[in-house]
Amino acid sequence: MSERIWTAGLIVIGDEILSGRTQDRNIAALAIWLEREGIRLAEVRIVPDDRARIVQAVRACQDAFDYLFTTGGIGPTHDDITVDAVAEALDVPVVVHPRAKEMLEAYYAARGTLVTEARLRMARVPQGAELIENRASGAPGIRCGNLFLLAGIPAVAAQMLEALAGTLEGGARMRSQTIGCWGAESEVADLLAACANDHPACTIGSYPFLKDGRGAANFVLRSTDEAALAACRADLEARLREAGKEPEAAGL
C-alpha cells in the first residue's frame, strides 16, 4: 500500500489530567473523529499548565504530523495559557481577533452582562489565526494553519470538531473488524502472528480480558483496503477453527 497516510498529533494541556482528578474524554473522541476524516491519530502528549512545557511540546510535534490539535487552556482564567504558549512556539505575537471580540460581546449582551477584561482574554489569538466557531460556547476554537486549539470541556471540544468536519484533507478511511474467541490469547499467539505476517496490508491487535470468569480475547483487524481486510478476516477465522476455536463474529 503506497497510499498517503494522513496523521495528527494531539497535545492535551491540563494539570487536572496529570493529577488524576479528571478522566480525559477528548483523546478517544478526537481519535474517532479523525478516523472518520481519514486521518490517523499518531501520538498524544499530555503536559501540565506550564508555558515552557507547552511551547516545547508544540515545537516537537508541529512538523512531525500533518495536523496538530491541542485541548484545554483556552478559557478566561489565569491558568489558561495555551494561546500565549502556542504564539510563542509559532514565534508570532498574541492579538485580539476582531470577530472573536464581536462574538463575545454579542454572547454576553444576550445574557445581560458585560465583556470584562477576563472575558476578552478569550478573544486573544496567535496572529494570523482563524476562528473555529461553534454552537456550544461564545468562545471560539482557534486555527493556526494546521494547528487547532480546542476547548478542554469535552462537550465544547466536540462542537468545535463538528464545525471542522469535512474541512481537512484526509486519506482513505481506516476500516476495522473485530473477531472474538474464548480462551487465553497465548493459545492462539502463533496463528495470530502467522496470519498478521501473511496479510501485510492489515494490522491485527489482540486484546485479552476476563469475561464471566473465563479468559477471552478480541482480535481487531484494521486496514484501509476493504478487500484485504475481508481476506485477512476469512483467513483468521479458518485458522481459529483449525485450532479448535470457534470465532465469534462480532467480538466478545
Q: Residues in the site for a copy of itself, rule: CB under 8 A?
A: 12, 15-25, 27-32, 35, 40-49, 53, 75-79, 116-119, 121-122, 153, 174, 176, 185-187, 189-190, 192-193, 196-197, 203-209, 220, 222
Maximum distance among all Cα pairs of the chain, rounded to whole angstroms: 71
Residues in the chain: 252
Q: Which is nearer to a copy of itself, 72 or 126 (CB)?
A: 72
Question: Where are the strands (E) in the chain, listed by range?
Answer: 6-13, 39-47, 67-71, 94-96, 124-126, 130-132, 141-144, 147-150, 175-182, 203-211, 214-223
Q: Which is nearer to a copy of itself, 86 or 192 (CB)?
A: 192
DSSP, collapsed to helix, strand or coil, labels residue 219 as strand
- For residue 70, how many other CB atoms are within 10 A of its CB? 30
To a copy of itself, the closest distance from the beta carbon of 30 in angstroms equals 8
To a copy of itself, the closest distance from the beta carbon of 187 in angstroms equals 8
Cell triple for 190? 502463533
Q: Which is nearer to a copy of itself, 175 or 231 (CB)?
A: 175
To a copy of itself, the closest distance from the beta carbon of 168 in angstroms equals 17
Reference 162, options 30, 14, 5, 7; nearest CA is 30
Q: Which is nearer to a copy of itself, 45 or 92 (CB)?
A: 45
To a copy of itself, the closest distance from the beta carbon of 176 in angstroms equals 7
To a copy of itself, the closest distance from the beta carbon of 74 in angstroms equals 12
